[in-house]
Amino acid sequence: MTSPIYTASIPVFKQMLGGLSGVLAKAEAHVAAKKIDPNALLQARLFPDMFALLRQVQVATDFAKSVSARLAGVDVPKLDDNEQTFADLQARITTVLTFIEGLDVALFDEAATREIVTQAGTAKEKRFTGASYIFNYALPHFFFHTTTAYDILRHNGVEVGKKDYIGTY
Amino acid sequence: MTSPIYTASIPVFKQMLGGLSGVLAKAEAHVAAKKIDPNALLQARLFPDMFALLRQVQVATDFAKSVSARLAGVDVPKLDDNEQTFADLQARITTVLTFIEGLDVALFDEAATREIVTQAGTAKEKRFTGASYIFNYALPHFFFHTTTAYDILRHNGVEVGKKDYIGTY
């Protein structure tokens, strides 16, 4: 039987990153059609001390790959965080999707009880079971960044809707 | 054994609605301290055709109570949607928390395979298993509204942080 922790993570990340990719594609088409500097959106933020769109996408994809790796018990892949364009962000999403789709379902068999340690060795170190990690920590953070990326674009008049955010499942 | 569908829903809704309540309390303190009309925040939206803060909170709580009821196989409680103030929203959150905390864990034993029908009898009718309903539909929507409520307040300069959004677990 497929672990519920797999069901709660990999297919959800796939769905929402697919949605995010579609939302970003519409944003890129929007700046092209209106002859706007892409950075007007990529560097847009809802408040000066919040992350800009580009960083929101980096962090959303970070959560997807790190959380998936930790739950599966494999090394967390490193990304260079050097994206600058919409095309770079799409490539990053594709890289993360390829990684998480490659994780065997069986790796998640013990995920619910696996001990997950975040920020190990620092004052902020936290210990979770896999179940608590995905439900109380990872999903709230992941959805925060996919939603805020969408909210930044909506706030800037890009014509995307809830359906785009939700993706396909 | 507690159903993973219970673990994925009731404690998550409790955590995030607790966070939302704290965020709204800081927003109310903010308007009081600055002598701002509370409606400047309650009716704030990120774009003209998005929901205002007050409606975001109504919809987030709607998802929490409706999704919990459907997964548990009990009637969905009706709320009047007549909130106008921060105090009204806090009362609504309390009502929903009381309802979901009162749902017996055992009601969720069959939740993963329970058939859930949304918008029954309309052209938009959708059929889910409980597992697909919570992971692919309910959580993405619920987090959308808790995050967007937070984003509206951040955008308006209320001093809340990610910790407030995440709540306690």
Please list every residue in chain B whose beta carbon sits closer than 8 Å to the beta carbon of residue A4.
4-5, 8, 112, 131
Residue of B nearest to A112 (CA): B4
Domain chopping of chain B, boundaries: 4-166
Say which DSSP state B108 is in. G
Digit-coded pLDDT (tens) for A82-136: 999 999 999 999 999 999 999 999 999 999 999 999 988 999 999 999 999 999 9
Name the CATH superfamily for B4-166. Answer: dinb family like domain (1.20.120.450)
Burial class (CB in 10 A: 0-12, 13-18, 19+), B60: buried
ipTM associated with this complex = 0.97
Q: Which pLDDT score, from 0 to 100, does residue B85 have? A: 98
Digit-coded pLDDT (tens) for A8-22: 999 999 999 999 999
Cβ–Cβ under 8 Å, residues B6 and B114: no
CB crowding B88-106: b at 16 or more within 10 Å, else e: ebbebbeebbebbeebeee
Please list every residue in chain B whose beta carbon sits closer than 8 Å to the beta carbon of residue A135.
7-8, 11-12
Q: Residues B25-48: what's their mean pLDDT? A: 98
Q: How many beta-carbon contacts under 8 Å exist across A and B? A: 92
Q: Which pLDDT score, from 0 to 100, does residue B122 have? A: 95
Q: Which of B142, B134, B138 is nearest to B167 (CA)?
A: B142
Top residue of B2, B7, B30 to mutate, by most chain A CBs within 10 Å, is: B7
Burial class (CB in 10 A: 0-12, 13-18, 19+), B27: buried
Please list every residue in chain A whose beta carbon sits closer than 8 Å to the beta carbon of residue B16.
140
Q: Which pLDDT score, from 0 to 100, does residue A97 have? A: 98
